């Protein structure tokens, strides 16, 4: 008579339990990840000097990062502020050659200073940028033109590589 013996059924069940226990007990090393996160709306103190490098007119005021002077009693023309992450951010894993991916979101408001602009629909702009890491000012000193990213020198290439996402309302007002 052909049929399964009780011993072989128990043996198969034991073998399955042993296999799944063995698989579940194998240590799995998760892939390493580098994560950066900060939120100005919940920051208890200014991140300038800790997580961020702030230069020029940049400052944190009432949970808002101000990139230019925001003082009605002083002239805000040619006011430039820069903010960048204080530590290097690897864009690839040197050991594996795997490129990093990133996701960012930010909300900003560009408010014109109507005392200095002939077109009330313009205001200072801003740029999100990637540049080689430096503990010094990441970009050369520029003024209010070209969003303060670099000095305006005719017929001269910028010496440092730069990738940016520019938001400049003065270009929209033309």
Indicate if the pLDDT at residue 30 is higher than 50.
no
- For the chain, the structural domain boundaries read 33-174
Tell me, what's the pLDDT at 29? 44
Q: How confident is the model at residue 40 (pLDDT cuts 50, 70, 90)?
A: low
> What's the rounded Cα separation, in Å, for the pair 125 and 69?
13
Name the class of domain 33-174.
mainly beta
Instruction: Give 151-168 pLDDT, tens digit per residue.
Output: 555 555 556 666 777 776
Q: Percent of the chain having pLDDT more than 90?
A: 0
Who has greater pLDDT, 105 or 114? 105
E strand or H helix at 16: helix 6-25
pTM listed for this prediction: 0.57
């Amino acid at each position: 008579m052909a049929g399964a013996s009780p011993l072989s059924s128990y043996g198969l069940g034991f073998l399955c339990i042993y296999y799944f226990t063995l698989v579940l007990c194998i240590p799995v090393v998760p892939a390493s990840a580098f994560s950066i996160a900060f939120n100005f709306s919940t920051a208890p103190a200014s991140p300038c000097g800790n997580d961020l490098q702030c230069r020029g007119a940049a400052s944190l005021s009432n949970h808002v990062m101000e990139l230019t002077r925001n003082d009605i009693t002083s002239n805000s023309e040619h006011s430039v502020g820069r903010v960048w992450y204080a530590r290097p951010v690897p864009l690839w894993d040197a050991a594996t050659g795997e490129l990093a991916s990133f996701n960012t979101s930010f909300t900003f408001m560009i408010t014109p200073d109507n005392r200095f602009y002939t077109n009330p629909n313009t205001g200072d702009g801003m740029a999100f940028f990637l540049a080689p890491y430096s503990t010094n000012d990441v970009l050369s000193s520029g003024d209010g033109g070209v969003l303060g990213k670099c000095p305006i020198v005719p017929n001269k290439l910028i010496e440092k590589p730069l990738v940016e996402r520019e938001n400049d309302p003065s270009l929209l007002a033309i």
